[in-house]
Amino acid sequence: MKQRLSTVVLLLLMGALIAACAAPAAPAATGESSAAAPQTQVIELEFWTLLTGNLAEALDAQVQAFNASQDRIRIVNVNQGGYNELQQKLLASIAAGNMPPITMVDYIYVPYYAQQGVFAPIDELASPEDMADFIPALLEDLSYNGRPYALPYNRSTQGFYYNKDLFREVGLDPDQPPATWEEFREVAKILSESGVYGTYANYSRWYFEPFVYQWGGVLNDAECNPTLDSPEVIAMAKFFQDLYHVDGYAVMPATLSGTFDQAAIEFINGQVGMMRQSTAIQSFIGNSVDFDWGFAMMPAGPVTRAVTHGGGNVAISAFLDETRKAAAWEFVRFLTDTERSAEFHMATGYMPTRYSVLERDDVKAFHAEHPSWLISVQQLEFARPTACIVRNVPEYNAIITQAIDRMIINNEDPATVLGEVQRELQLAVDELRAAGTLIP
């Protein structure tokens, strides 16, 4: 009931959003007047962001670098606390007709916002040559009807971290991380018998999706109907459930929801030997641990190897007047250019967003010293695009997260839980199809 109530609230906000988009007068963006600003006036624009910790600091440094580079535009960094928090506040701001001029946005929501007409098409601002420099796989999830509505900024894939010192202590080759999940289970057993935990018990919605593919399942069929109650998905869920409840090789993290650093605290303290985490925290891990560690591609499942890519992107409000839209684009172009992408990639571990980044001499030298930084790019060979069900159902994230908690924490039967998820998502898809708003 609680989940359905949140869905009703979301639908009400969506209705208000559509009404706002259809109104004859465009809503004013936060921090701006409805009239175009004189050319001599400093244009101040809010930029809603969602990164935390050292990642937020790296982003803010680039915002301040833009402000220092000229005196006509001032960007105000308004941190909203995280992906989910920003999503909730953005929906509310749009429904109220007061959305920010520039915002970061999770990749899974861009097509939905584009369908509602609240983001400006990027290709009407950027040159064809500029757009051609972006890695196409990163733009695919940001497009609607063939047009991009946001640009990638902090994008990553899933990666595999492991404690090389612990591997050595138990007689494992520190340069040979497990290549499959069955090998992973064997290594987790050896590590756990030595007095530490092999891995973590939980996995988020972002990991659920590639695991489905690795076990030979899919999230939806060709018509966008969910397929999460299939034998393949149930078997996958049972594998990770058993690591915790049957094998005892996994530990529940101290922080189930929080920033990357909070979720990885047991690994950092040497109490967990292996973890699945974003490629984006390699710099953080390197600066936080006092042991030898390794980073590798995600292990392959029983059927195939697969990852998904995700993260934050930058979009511009469609409701800005031409003067402010031009100012917003000047900032977004600066933030996503080759220099900034290279800088952010080397400082964090997020993947480079442009081909030209990989051609820079400083990046080539950095990769020679830190070869694991390239894994996020190499894994794009195995990356799957965002599934139709994920693009279309805004409450998908909450539904899957709740299901994972029920299976992993509460040890509920995966077939029962996933059957309920299947019915709830099918209902949402049927409602969208009936309304004619299903995004193909």
pLDDT digits (tens, 9 = 90+) for 120-169: 999 999 999 999 999 998 898 899 999 999 999 999 889 999 999 999 99
DSSP 406: I
d(CA 62, CA 342): 12
User: Per mean pLDDT, which of 242-256, 283-297, 331-345 is the most reliable?
Assistant: 331-345
List the single range of 3-7, 112-116, 285-289, 401-405 with lowest mean pLDDT: 3-7
d(CA 256, CA 168): 29
How high is the pLDDT of residue 134? Answer: 96
How high is the pLDDT of residue 259? Answer: 60
Contact 304, 214 (CB under 8 A): yes
Give 236's pLDDT tier (boundaries 50, 70, 90): very high
How high is the pLDDT of residue 77? Answer: 98
Give 179's pLDDT tier (boundaries 50, 70, 90): very high
Mean pLDDT, the chain, rounded, equals 88
d(CA 190, CA 196): 9
Share of the chain above pLDDT 90, in %: 71
How high is the pLDDT of residue 131? Answer: 96
How high is the pLDDT of residue 292? Answer: 97
Interval 52-65: pLDDT, tens: 888 899 999 999 99
Q: How far is CA 89 from CA 72, 81, 368, in A?
A: 28, 10, 42
Residues 6+ apart with CB under 8 A from 296: 159, 160, 162, 177, 372, 375
List the single range of 35-49, 62-76, 165-179, 255-269 with lowest mean pLDDT: 255-269
How high is the pLDDT of residue 10? Answer: 42
d(CA 203, CA 104): 24
Residue 258 or residue 188, greater confidence = 188
Interval 2-41: pLDDT, tens: 333 333 334 334 443 433 343 333 344 444 434 444 556 9
DSSP 51: -
How high is the pLDDT of residue 263? Answer: 72
Six token digits for residue 200: 């973590």
Q: How far is CA 409 from CA 159, 171, 240, 403, 413, in A?
A: 23, 31, 11, 10, 11
Residues 6+ apart with CB under 8 A from 189: 198, 247, 249
Q: How far is CA 222 from the centre of its chain?
A: 24
Six token digits for residue 41: 């006036």
The SS3 assignment for 2 reads helix
